[in-house]
């Protein structure tokens, strides 16, 4: 049976499952004394091992024992409160930065990998100022203008597939999303320079995904060929080229920013020009990680769900054929493809790219869901569990009908977080998912391949163990755009 930190909590199941309709401040001011946090009965050593090898299963089992909010101590993370319901997340979002922060929490784990001036590691006005610069390049019309390029990259990927063969799509998705984010960050450069930067980004991200790099206590330089040393070497290699490009943009005196890197250079982030260059380099690295890693894995999970349901794939093909025929998808088409969007949202819900996201740090004691959260306690969104809430009957099945024609709002399952820290790249991710999945379904016939599709960690996200192996059976009849 689950125990609280200080005592047995036989009443916590009911409290943990009750839907809260009050704000965090209102909850904190209740006359009822808040309860201590539930903790699972699983031994700490076993929980640590399971978290490294089977995090999704562990969190699901602990939720079944403890309810929708619980505390665990985890390797490299310390004391972490898991929030498994959307309304609990919204309680946290309502607290101000004098009570709950996000950048400081992320910085403890990401600064060593990307630097301490990356926007995700910032708080307060510094974060808001940075976000105002970045957001326009990752959402809205700016991103929609990239759709033809995304479709073109997908067509190139299809041309490389061998008919009748089993192919691993995860490495191809990685490459595609890396090319896309490079074109947004450095799109004002000549195409050969963009391609060069995309190659360097690929080398850096390849090292970034190594498990020994992701676990803090394994980051040890044990000679030039140790994983951590090789990661630092590739990051330095990428940083040097980024720095040269940032200095070139600064020296040009051009105040008309044609890409995100130029926009950051001319924004005057700091008074010291060298501090500006340092911040730009770090931010580019952070955006490469955030803009490529999670989307590439989400592509695999969306496609896995779709290929596991032939009738669902057929319904999507009908929608695409009816609207597009043989022509490529354009930005104007996005509003007229409701079933494609339902497939994408269901893919994000059915298998989240990670067991948790959106870390926050309580700076003062707060109350969430009737539970006391002590100062210096981390809180995370258990996204996979949030997607198994009351809005999604038969939640273990992949079924786009969860979203098609239904009023399920993003706040009901928060795939991109919420509050002022909502994912800046949400627009880019959704356009990429639509462009790639839509083009694959429109142009090809394929089915799931061999090997386990169990989620395994790869960088900051989880991918299928078999690297999304599919059997490609050829182009669909009449679906060749040439």
* pTM of the full structure: 0.89
Specify the 3-state DSSP secondary structure of 80: strand
CA distances, 283 to each of 29, 182, 229, 261, 277 (Å)? 40, 13, 22, 9, 10
What domains, with CATH codes, occur in the chain?
3-475 (1.10.630.10)
Token representation of residue 283:
């931010």
Per-residue pLDDT tens over the stretch 355-390 = 998 899 999 999 999 999 999 999 999 999 999 988
Check if the beta carbon of residue 102 is closer than 8 Å to that of residue 110. no
89 touches 386 (CB < 8 A): yes
Cα–Cα separations (whole angstroms), residue 144 to 5, 137, 332, 431 = 49, 10, 9, 7
DSSP state of 19: P
Give residue-wise pLDDT tens across range 456-468.
Answer: 999 889 999 999 9
28-49 pLDDT, tens per residue?
444 456 788 999 999 999 999 9
To the nearest whole number, what is the mean pLDDT of the chain?
Answer: 87
What are 171-206's pLDDT values in tens digits? 999 999 999 998 888 877 778 888 888 899 999 999
């Amino acid at each position: 049976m689950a125990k609280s930190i200080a005592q047995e909590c036989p009443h916590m199941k009911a409290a943990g499952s009750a839907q809260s309709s009050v704000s965090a401040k209102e909850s904190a001011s209740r006359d009822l004394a808040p309860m201590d946090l539930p903790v699972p009965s699983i031994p700490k050593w076993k929980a640590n091992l399971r978290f490294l090898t089977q995090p999704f299963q562990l969190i699901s089992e602990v939720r079944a024992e403890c309810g929708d909010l619980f505390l665990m101590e985890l390797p490299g993370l310390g004391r972490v409160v898991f929030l498994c319901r959307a309304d609990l997340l919204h309680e946290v979002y309502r607290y101000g930065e004098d009570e709950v922060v996000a950048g400081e929490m992320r910085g403890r784990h990401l600064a060593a990998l990307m630097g301490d001036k990356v926007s995700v590691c910032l708080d307060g006005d510094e974060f808001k100022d940075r976000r105002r610069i970045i957001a326009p390049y990752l959402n809205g019309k700016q991103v929609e203008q990239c759709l033809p390029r995304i479709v073109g990259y997908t067509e190139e990927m299809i041309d490389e597939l061998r008919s009748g063969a089993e192919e691993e799509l995860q490495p191809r998705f990685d490459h595609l999303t890396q090319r896309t984010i490079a074109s947004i960050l450095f799109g004002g450069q000549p195409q050969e320079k963009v391609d060069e930067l995309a190659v360097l980004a690929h080398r850096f991200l390849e090292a970034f995904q190594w498990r020994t790099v992701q676990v803090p206590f394994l980051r040890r330089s044990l000679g030039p060929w140790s994983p951590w040393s090789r990661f630092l070497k590739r990051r330095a290699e990428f940083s040097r080229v980024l720095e040269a490009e940032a200095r070139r943009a600064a020296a040009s005196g051009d105040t008309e920013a044609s890409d995100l890197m130029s926009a950051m250079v001319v924004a005057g982030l700091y008074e010291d020009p060298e501090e500006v260059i340092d911040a730009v380099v770090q931010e580019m690295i952070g955006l490469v990680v955030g803009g490529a890693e999670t989307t590439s894995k989400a592509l695999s999970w969306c496609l896995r769900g779709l290929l596991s349901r032939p009738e669902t794939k057929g319904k999507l093909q009908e929608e695409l054929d009816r609207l597009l025929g043989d022509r490529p998808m354009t930005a104007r088409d996005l509003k007229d493809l409701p079933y494609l969007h339902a497939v994408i949202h269901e893919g994000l819900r059915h298998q989240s790219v990670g067991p948790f996201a959106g870390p926050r740090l309580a700076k003062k004691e707060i109350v969430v869901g009737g539970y006391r959260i002590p100062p210096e306690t981390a809180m995370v969104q258990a996204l996979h569990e949030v997607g198994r809430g009351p809005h999604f009957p038969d939640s273990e099945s992949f079924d786009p009908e969860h979203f098609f024609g239904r009023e399920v709002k993003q706040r009901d399952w928060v795939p991109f977080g919420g509050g002022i820290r909502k994912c800046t790249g949400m627009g880019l991710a959704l356009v990429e998912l639509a462009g790639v999945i839509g083009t694959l379904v429109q142009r090809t016939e394929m089915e799931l391949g061999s090997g386990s599709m169990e989620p395994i960690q790869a960088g900051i996200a989880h991918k299928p163990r078999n690297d999304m192996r599919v059997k490609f059976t050829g182009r669909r009849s009449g679906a060749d755009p040439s």
